[in-house]
Amino acid sequence: METNKQVRVRFAPSPTGGLHLGGVRTVLYNYLFARQHNGKFILRIEDTDQTRFVEGAEQYIYDCLHWCGLTPDESPLTGGPFAPYRQSERKPIYYNYALQLVKAGYAYYAFDTPEELEAMRERLKAANSHSLQYDHHSRMGMRNSISLSEEETIQLLENGTPFVIRIKIQPNETVICNDLIRGEIHFDTSAVDDKVLLKADGMPTYHLAVVVDDYLMQITHAFRGEEWLPSAPIHILLWQYLFGLDNMVKWAHLPLILKPDGNGKLSKRDGDRLGFPVYAMNWTDPVTGELTKGFKETGFLPEAFNNLLSQLGWNDGTEQEIFSMSELIEKFSLQRVHISGAKFDFEKAKWFNHEWIKSASAKRLLPDITTLLNNNGIDTGNKNLFEIIDLIKDRCTLLTDFIEHTRYFFIPPKTIDVASIAQKWDEKKKTFFESLIPIFEKAEEWNSITIETLFKAHASTHEIKIGELQMILRVFLVGCKAGPGVFHITTILGKEDTINRIISGIKQL
């Protein structure tokens, strides 16, 4: 890599719907690379296809990046030295580049109507042609500035006939992509079609806009998913024709994220089918109202999400799997990004989350858990949520698990699992618990050690096995046999609540 150039990388999504975890991984690798090289990470919105406009999709991308903490240095929101960063606002820029290509003979005007294009495909199909594309085979049979005379072309342009501009691909040439992950990739231009560069509405297509903007925004490296590899020869040719290969971005095509069985690219439908999220955050289709669940709302911590994404296609060569963001920034390297696709395993994803929840401080978790519980109708005001989080976080794999594991601290069980203790319950134990109440009432200190001491002393006076009593106390307090240390629970519940639950428990038996 040249040392004189500041590293500038970009994530260039088309805002057409939910943000797939593969997209976030592209963001992450861009971000890591930029931070590692003291470079800049740019977010460019590629919204030139007006027919694919989706209400709210752009804002949703900002929200996802914000949740992941992968904040761009330059974007439509923050602005920057190369603004605007939204391609629909850059429309006038592209036309001149398209014209430059036409003048140099690398592109041409095409006047074909949709019906004529359809007829071309029918014709090629009927002739059993191996390709149905608009390319060096078919272009001479179409209405364009190569097949028509110069006068005819001028006439059509003067008449205001709608046109597109297409790249003219010369067959039998080899385009070489030097991919930072995959090495040298050779493309035979004979298989590449004459892609539209400028549409009839004057908007560029993605192919033209991506090259022009990567150049104008001084992007040094372009990381994107492997699915864009087939477009690479077009982009490389455009770089060659417009700006020179010496100035071209360095490409890195990231491996696909595969279905759990390894059979093809992981899609939103796989998530729906197998019951796990594929998008970063909940996405509601504004037209159909269909909701697709996200990792955030499923209960993932962004730290865990970034960590698990980092491992889908990269490792540091050791057994280490848990990485903080600063470690990732330090250790990430393109040399260690895999070529083959990475299978997505939801159980493994949950493992990452569990590890992050276990090691997170209660302070870190507090705001998320407070919001989660409040949104689920649990008023956390009357108890020390901080302590509760510390006590139960090891039991939670997803943040949403905190709902079930903390509910009983705030809301006394309406009914207790009588069946689980009925066999152990007898008059002796009833007397034990009834006489425990005044002891608890008189307790001067209320912490797990003093409560345990009082409880055990009382049990030995009554000559009853402590284990059975503890189990019954637990069911009184929690409603069932689950939960952390029972004396920790009594501490958090407080004296009054503990006593009330014991009274209510006795009544139910």
Residues annotated as catalytic are 268
**Binding status of residue 236 toward ligand GLU by CB under 6 A:** no
Tokens representing 482 are 């689950």
Give the end-to-end CA distance of the chain in Å, rounded to a whole number.
75
- Contacts by residues 146-154 (CB-CB < 8 Å, ≥ 24 positions apart): 146/108, 148/111, 153/109
Name the one range near ligand GLU by CB under 6 A: 12-20, 195-203, 330-338, 368-376: 12-20
**Binding status of residue 46 toward ligand GLU by CB under 6 A:** yes
What gap in Å lies between CA 120 and CA 126, rounded to an integer? 10
What gap in Å lies between CA 423 and CA 204, rounded to an integer? 77
CA-to-CA dists, residue 257 to 121, 192, 262, 268, 333, angstroms? 33, 26, 9, 12, 18
Binding mask 90-109 for ligand GLU (x = CB under 6 A): --------------------
Name the one range near ligand GLU by CB under 6 A: 11-19, 107-115, 322-330, 353-361: 11-19
Phi and psi at 29, nearest 5°, equal: -65, -40
DSSP 89: G
Total residues at the site for ligand GLU (CB under 6 A)? 9
- Contacts by residues 503-507 (CB-CB < 8 Å, ≥ 24 positions apart): 503/437, 504/412, 504/416, 504/476, 505/416, 505/433, 505/472, 505/475, 505/476, 505/477, 506/430, 506/433, 506/434, 506/476
Q: Pairing between strand 221-225 and 164-167?
A: unpaired
**Binding status of residue 258 toward ligand GLU by CB under 6 A:** no
| Residues 124 to 163 in contact with ligand GLU, rule: CB under 6 A | none
Minimum CB distance to ligand GLU smaller for 136 or for 221: 221
Minimum CB distance to ligand GLU smaller for 12 or for 337: 12
**Binding status of residue 13 toward ligand GLU by CB under 6 A:** yes
Quickly count: other Cβ atoms within 10 Å of residue 241's Cβ. Answer: 19
Least distance CB 315 / ligand GLU (angstroms): 24
Listed in sequence order, the residues at least 6 apart from 209 whose beta carbon sits closer than 8 Å to its beta carbon are: 46, 48, 87, 90, 94
Name the one range near ligand GLU by CB under 6 A: 10-18, 147-155, 418-426, 465-473: 10-18
Minimum CB distance to ligand GLU smaller for 14 or for 380: 14
User: DSSP letters of 295-348?
Assistant: HHHHT--HHHHHHHHHTSSB--SSS-----HHHHHHH--GGGB-SS-EE--HHH
Q: Which residues pair with 186 in a beta bridge?
A: 176
Least distance CB 179 / ligand GLU (angstroms): 13
| Interface pick for ligand GLU out of 7, 8, 9, 12 (rule CB under 6 A) | 12
Minimum CB distance to ligand GLU smaller for 15 or for 277: 15
| Residues 185 to 214 in contact with ligand GLU, rule: CB under 6 A | 206, 210
Least distance CB 214 / ligand GLU (angstroms): 8
Name the one range near ligand GLU by CB under 6 A: 31-39, 156-164, 220-228, 418-426: 220-228
**Binding status of residue 350 toward ligand GLU by CB under 6 A:** no
Least distance CB 16 / ligand GLU (angstroms): 8
Minimum CB distance to ligand GLU smaller for 12 or for 403: 12
Minimum CB distance to ligand GLU smaller for 87 or for 380: 87
3-state secondary structure of 262: coil
Least distance CB 231 / ligand GLU (angstroms): 8
**Binding status of residue 14 toward ligand GLU by CB under 6 A:** yes
Minimum CB distance to ligand GLU smaller for 52 or for 125: 52
Q: Which residues bind ligand GLU (CB under 6 A)?
A: 12-14, 46, 206, 210, 222, 224, 228
